Amino acid sequence: MDNIMLLACASALMLTSCTSDPLAPRPTHTLTRSLNETAADRAVPSRFRDADDTSPSTLSMSEPSSPDDFVRLALYRSPELERSYQQWVAMSQRVPQAGALPDPRLNVRFFANEVETRVGAQQARIGVSQQLPWSGKLRASEVAAAAEARAAWVRYTAIERSITRRVVTALYAIHELDATIDITRESLELLSSFEDSVRSRFRVGGGSQSDLVRTQVELGMLDDRLVSLRSSRSTLVAQLNALLDRPHDTPVAPITELSPPPLDTPLDELITQTQRTNPLLVSLSERVIAEQSRTKVARYASKPELTLGVETIFTDDAINPSIAESGDDPLLLTFSVNLPIWRDKYNAQVQESIAKRLALAYERESAFNDLSARIVRSHFDYTDAQRRAKLYEHTLIPKATESIQSTLASFRTGTDGFTDLLDAQRTLLEFQLNALRARTAQGIALARLHELIGITDASVEQTKTNPISTPETDR
């Protein structure tokens, strides 16, 4: 019994002493790091994780009234975003697994034929052993798992930005359609006033029947277009409701005010900021860090690892009970070391990890080049659409309005023909629609820019080390 107690105490002492390295304590790994001091480091609320949340802010999202409300509701209800969040949770749970010691092994052996010794017959042997990996190997595995978890978090923020961009794009599409309907209806009313003028002139013999027929044809075409625009709204509403995870026929009120915010940051600064905040680039950087740590793990795999153990043998009393130490259970301390003699295998593991890290580094460089080109394109789309919108709103539309008023006055006095009046009306309608399309293109381009740059409260900061450097000494 004394030997059994000694065995238990020795095993507990051994396992306790191996859980940490007093010379080099393991650092704590932050899985989510804020982009700046004001940015949130938590996931957005979710109806899957916060189903019991009855706060006013949550309840108010059931009836969105502003673009921000639509975005918050989409993020709150998105199964796609929740899937990405749960993937991050799963990856974060690998961190404590990677830094933990292997399970101790309990060995129990029974003698089929009892071994008779001087102090008695040996019946069974029981022991416990613990493999002791190098402390640096566990730490490197933990760092790799934490980097992969951070990469998963960044992918979560990328989904968040993608949903935001898609919601904003859908809102702009509905806004453009609603505004187009209003402009077409106003144009229809304007053309109806032309019809009244033509009828009045026709009654007094100053107009022609062909002008009246042309007016009625134009009215019919505009009315048909108005009906088509109104019927097409349901498809855009269905797309928005799909992003909001609600029935396709849920009504959406007309979106009357949706102005794109200004963009004052120079293009070069946007591209520079992308290096630090774009989710794809940051995720690749974290994966490079993970591969750097896996290279260390591969190098540690080629080093011998010690296994310590303690055993005891259950022994019956000796045939002659007067013999000293009769029935005593012997206590054994065991030491074993693996022999990593197959060097080609371990060298191949190291080279494989280095090759993966290089591939990720080049993938990041290629992704940055592609993102830079896309940012330049989106920035051009934004500035060009802004220029065109200002041109139509401040120059062309006022002149077209002035022209149609002048032409209408001349038509009533008989100076200009009806064809000039119709041309002026078509020009005004075209300018109004072009201005609307330009503002829509401007807003969509800005939303695409935000997604490419990675502007989000849930972004993470790139590690201060240089994750894409390739130390030749690692080869």
Per-residue pLDDT reduced to its tens digit, 64-117: 878 888 999 999 999 999 999 999 999 999 999 998 898 899 988 887 777 766
What band does 36 get if pLDDT is binned at 50, 70 and 90?
very low
Q: How far is CA 76 from CA 58, 201, 450, in A?
A: 9, 61, 20
- Name the 3-class secondary structure at 299: helix
Does pLDDT of 183 surpass 60? yes
Give residue 53's pLDDT. 55
Distance CA(447)–CA(168), nearest Å, equals 7
Among residues 88, 461, 464, the alpha carbon closest in space to that of 282 is found at 461
- Let me know if residue 111 belongs to a domain: no
- Let me know if residue 94 belongs to a domain: no
Q: Are strands 105-117 and 120-132 parallel, antiparallel or unpaired?
A: antiparallel
Per-residue pLDDT reduced to its tens digit, 326-377: 667 788 888 998 888 888 998 999 999 999 999 999 999 999 999 999 999 9
- Let me know if residue 329 belongs to a domain: no
- Let me know if residue 104 belongs to a domain: no
Q: Beta partners for 231?
A: none
Q: How far is CA 452 from CA 178, 386, 456, in A?
A: 28, 19, 11
Mean pLDDT, residues 203-226 = 75
Distance CA(392)–CA(381), nearest Å, equals 16
Do residues 441 and 385 make contact, with C-beta atoms less than 8 angstroms apart? yes
Q: CA 264, 463, 81 angle in degrees (round to 5)?
A: 70
CATH number of the CATH domain containing 217: 1.20.1600.10
Distance CA(64)–CA(244), nearest Å, equals 10
Distance CA(271)–CA(114), nearest Å, equals 78
Non-local CB neighbours of 317 within 8 Å, separated by 6+ positions: 120, 326, 327
Among residues 104, 94, 105, the alpha carbon closest in space to that of 141 is found at 94
Does pLDDT of 459 surpass 70? no
Does pLDDT of 124 surpass 80? yes
Average pLDDT, the chain: 80
Distance CA(177)–CA(463), nearest Å, equals 45
Q: What pTM was estimated for this model as a whole?
A: 0.77
One-letter amino acid at 378 equals S
Among residues 8, 18, 15, the alpha carbon closest in space to that of 331 is found at 8
Percentage above 90 pLDDT, the chain: 45
Distance CA(295)–CA(289), nearest Å, equals 10
Q: Show the domain range for 379.
A: 135-303+344-474
Distance CA(400)–CA(419), nearest Å, equals 15
Non-local CB neighbours of 399 within 8 Å, separated by 6+ positions: none
Helix (H) or strand (E) holding 354: helix 343-391
Give residue 25's pLDDT. 30
Per-residue pLDDT reduced to its tens digit, 250-282: 999 888 778 888 888 899 999 999 998 999 999
- Let me know if residue 293 belongs to a domain: yes
- Let me know if residue 428 belongs to a domain: yes
Do residues 264 and 118 make contact, with C-beta atoms less than 8 angstroms apart? no
Distance CA(34)–CA(462), nearest Å, equals 10
Q: How far is CA 269 from CA 28, 264, 275, 398, in A?
A: 33, 10, 10, 36
What band does 424 get if pLDDT is binned at 50, 70 and 90?
confident
Q: How far is CA 257 from CA 60, 172, 178, 345, in A?
A: 20, 10, 10, 65
Does pLDDT of 5 surpass 90? no
- Let me know if residue 317 belongs to a domain: no
What band does 35 get if pLDDT is binned at 50, 70 and 90?
very low
- Let me know if residue 170 belongs to a domain: yes
Structural domains in the chain (count): 1
Helix (H) or strand (E) holding 309: strand 306-315
What band does 312 get if pLDDT is binned at 50, 70 and 90?
confident
Neighbours of 383 (CB within 10 A): 14
One-letter amino acid at 110 equals F
Percentage above 70 pLDDT, the chain: 76
Do residues 431 and 392 make contact, with C-beta atoms less than 8 angstroms apart? yes
